[in-house]
Structure 1
Amino acid sequence: MTKKRVYRIKFISQGKLYELFAREVGQSTMYGFVELGEIIFGEKSAMVVDPSEEHLKAEFAGVKRTYIPMHSILRIDEVNKEGINKITEVTNTEGNIAVFPSPLYTPGKDKK
């Protein structure tokens, strides 16, 4: 029996940091996108409810595949087991300004 791979994907969307666990990750046929399939949601008892995972479960309900812009992805890791999907606020604790992520192509720039 082969063990299915599990990936942890971290990306920024609408000013929030998303952390998702999925079984399929690959380059999309749409230029500039990464394709995620089989997003994993943990089955928990009714006693413990994580509001951020419940929000993600509702947001991705009925989604077979999702396409994330490549420049929004911060990190993709292959992990041993799935964890808790979550959304967190992006905070700048260092006081530095980061310009990441940036678009791959910016139209209108002059080539010299």
Structure 2
Amino acid sequence: MSTKPLYKVTFLSAGKIYELYARSVASSALWGFTEISDLVWDTNESLVIDPTEEKLRDEFGNTRVLHLPMQSVVRVEEVERKTQLVIRDCNSGDKIVTPFPMPGKRG
């Protein structure tokens, strides 16, 4: 039984660096774009909810195919398993969505 590869796609959008997991990455029929499809989300029904994944699912959950401009794609990696997703600020590299409030920091 052959399983489809899993890709971690890192891209820039609106001053943020996004990471998504997908089963399919290809050149788009639209010239100058990369086609990302079959996005992968956690299906765990656990009590712990990853706020970053929830934010990404709200934004991209109903997306069938994501067409990204080639110059916005930072990296595409074929990986063995999915890890925690991250959204970072493009300038500082700091995570935008943190799982829990940090002590001593006020936002």
TM value normalised by structure 1: 0.76
Q: Secondary structure at the match of 2:44?
A: coil
Matches within 5 A, 1:75-94: 75-92=75-92
Structure 1 unaligned blocks of 5 or more? 94-112
Please state how far the C-alpha of 1:3 moved relative to its aligned partner.
1.6
Alpha-carbon RMSD: 1.5
Q: Which residue in the other structure is 1:96 paired with?
A: none
Matched, 1:6 2:10: no
Q: Deviations over 1:59-106 (max 9, x none)?
A: 11221111011000110011111223331212347xxxxxxxxxxxxx
- Secondary structure (helix, strand or coil) at the match of 2:62 reads coil
Q: What does residue 25 of structure 1 align with?
A: 25
Runs of 4+ in 1 over 6 A off after TM superposition: none
CA distance in 2, matches of 1:22, 1:84: 14
Q: Which amino acid aligns with 1:83?
A: T
> d(CA) in 2 for partners of 1:31 and 1:85?
28
The reply to whether residue 62 of structure 1 matches residue 65 of structure 2 is no
Percent pairwise identity:
34
Q: Secondary structure at the match of 2:87?
A: strand
Q: Which amino acid is the alignment partner of residue 11 of structure 1? A: F
Q: Structure 2: which 5+ runs fail to align?
A: 94-107
Larger radius of gyration: 1
Check conservation: 2:15, 2:91, Cα contact below 8 A. Answer: no
The yes-or-no answer on 1:16 pairing with 2:13 is no
How far off is 1:39 after superposition?
0.4
Q: How many angstroms does 1:7 deviate by?
A: 0.4
The one-letter amino acid paired with 1:40 is V
Q: Which amino acid aligns with 2:74?
A: L
